[in-house]
Amino acid sequence: MALTKDWPPRRIVVLTGAGISKESGLDTFRDKDGLWSRVRLEDVATPEAFRRDPARVQAFYNARRQGLQDRAVQPNAAHRALARLQAAPRFETLLVTQNIDDLHERGGSTQVLHMHGELLKAECLACGGVHLWPGDLDTASLCPACAARGRLRPQVVWFGEMPLEMERIQAALAACDLFVSIGTSGNVYPAAGFVAEARAGGAHTVELNLEPSEGARLFREAHHGPASEIVPAYVESLLALAT
Ligand code: BJW
């Protein structure tokens, strides 16, 4: 139920996290069986870790890049529902994801803002070029643009680095009528602060997650359960408003 700005909403911001891809076969980070239960984030997800031991960091992302391209990993009903929402002309929907996978795109979304980067891309520390990179990276990989050797890194945002497209996201949060957060634990900033920014702008705020997140109390509405069930149901309720 909307308690705040324009309703039915016109401008929508959707934020997704690892939980939306869990049923597609990808790991979350902070669940009991998540990535951070098997590897210390300080060893693989900081610029310092990359400087200290680039081979280890490359191996961590090589394994995840291979996993993402396993045939069993496919978009699920939640990714596809968000693509339908984005395609509905009644709404202006900005889809922001913390995920580095490409499951939103494979689920039919054409405009996805990857604030923590993309696993299937590599960035050259020598020339700044960003390249599609479906294969492995190692400490001798050659940049296709400037030919520097060993300067390519996964195009992902590690702790202490600035997430991408923040100005655009913050402008959209200030202007939106509805903010929907899906499958994220609300532990990592600045994404964890988006709900407060949307609220400050007067938006209605909705959490769709397996369980209440860290910031659950900040949302005006919540639905808990597997993303593949609750996201399509919520999207259908929005699309019904548009008819
Ligand atoms: C389901 C489900 C199902 C399960 N259906 N749901 C002290 C205070 C405040 C901030 C800081 C601080 N000290 C340091 C900071 C900043 C730091 C930070 O936030 N640290 C915290 C740990 C405190 N942040 C940064 O450094 C960021 N940069 C930054 O702040 O720059 C300065 C700046 C300031 C202001 C404006 C702009 C910039 C960068 C953060 C980079 C995060 N990088 C990672 C790795 C990326 C590459 C990779 O994938 O390897 O991003 S860490 C990891 O966490 C990854 C994720 O995108 C991110 C968020 O995780 P997510 O998606 O929430 O996953 P989980 O596992 O936590 O949660 C999953 C949820 O799904 C759970 O709730 C489940 O219940 C649910 N779920 N199955 C529905 N089937």
Residue 110 CB coordination number (10 Å): 10
Q: Counting atoms of ligand 1 from 1, which one is nearest the CA of 100?
A: 49
| CA nearest ligand 1 atom 80, residue | 226
Residues with CB under 6 Å of ligand 1 are 17-19, 22-23, 28-31, 34, 45, 98, 100, 116, 156-163, 166, 183-185, 187-190, 209-211, 213, 226-227
Q: From the CA of 195, how far away is ligand 1's center (Å)? A: 14
Element (H, E) at 117: strand 117-124
Please list the ranges in the chain whose pLDDT falls under 70.
Answer: 1-4, 242-243
Please answer whether residues 81 and 180 qualify as being in contact, where contact means their C-beta atoms are separated by less than 8 angstroms.
Answer: no
So what's the pLDDT on residue 243?
Answer: 64
Beta partners for 118?
Answer: 155
CA distance readout (Å), 150 to 39, 68, 130, 232: 24, 23, 14, 43
Percentage of residues of the chain with pLDDT beyond 90 = 96
Written as six digits, the tokens of 39 are: 């590897």
- Residue 216 CA to residue 40 CA, distance in Å, equals 26
So what's the pLDDT on residue 242?
Answer: 67
Written as six digits, the tokens of 132 are: 């599609």
CA distance readout (Å), 117 to 100, 199, 210: 6, 26, 24
So what's the pLDDT on residue 1?
Answer: 47
- 48, 22, 87, 192 alpha-carbon torsion, rounded to 10°: -50
Please answer whether residues 85 and 12 qualify as being in contact, where contact means their C-beta atoms are separated by less than 8 angstroms.
Answer: yes
Q: From the CA of 234, how far away is ligand 1's center (Å)? A: 24
Written as six digits, the tokens of 225 are: 């359960």
So what's the pLDDT on residue 4?
Answer: 58
So what's the pLDDT on residue 7?
Answer: 86
